[in-house]
Chain A
């Protein structure tokens, strides 16, 4: 699946629940990213991580949390504090935190029910 795997493909969340989206890569990339995609708004950066045990907020980090305990994994938790979580979430990775050659996962579509 192109070296970066997101799961699940579809996720449904009830109001007030936290949910965690998985992102795993076997490309030996140092940097990983989470983007949110809404119709007509392009891709907006939620969080990014340059190295293990370090991560930084992007433009729309409120209501989200991440961890980077392993180089291969960068899970995203959508908390109940995120008021409008329904969206398509994309994970990406790149070598040495350069903007060159992003590889994207296939995405997770989260719906609040």
Chain B
């Protein structure tokens, strides 16, 4: 199993450009989520999905869109990139949304710079 994979590893955008961060998992997990990590702020939840066709907003959803057409894939779209979106983005998956008895697996991250 590859676990959780993310592409690209690095990306530089200009303000106003759009792009999609890819995330895939091969563990047949129902729950997937996107976080951003900024220095001194830990990880903050952007969007999450409890299964194919179901998505919801997290703590910092503005400027980002998601969709979940399959169990395996959960792409994150930046519609019009802004410098404030410069960050490291992590995708995570788990069997379900309960953290007490379940393990959340993180991908290796995408480092995004918006100029």
A binds B: no
Listed in ascending order, the chain B residues whose CB lies under 8 Å from chain A are none
Listed in ascending order, the chain A residues whose CB lies under 8 Å from chain B are none
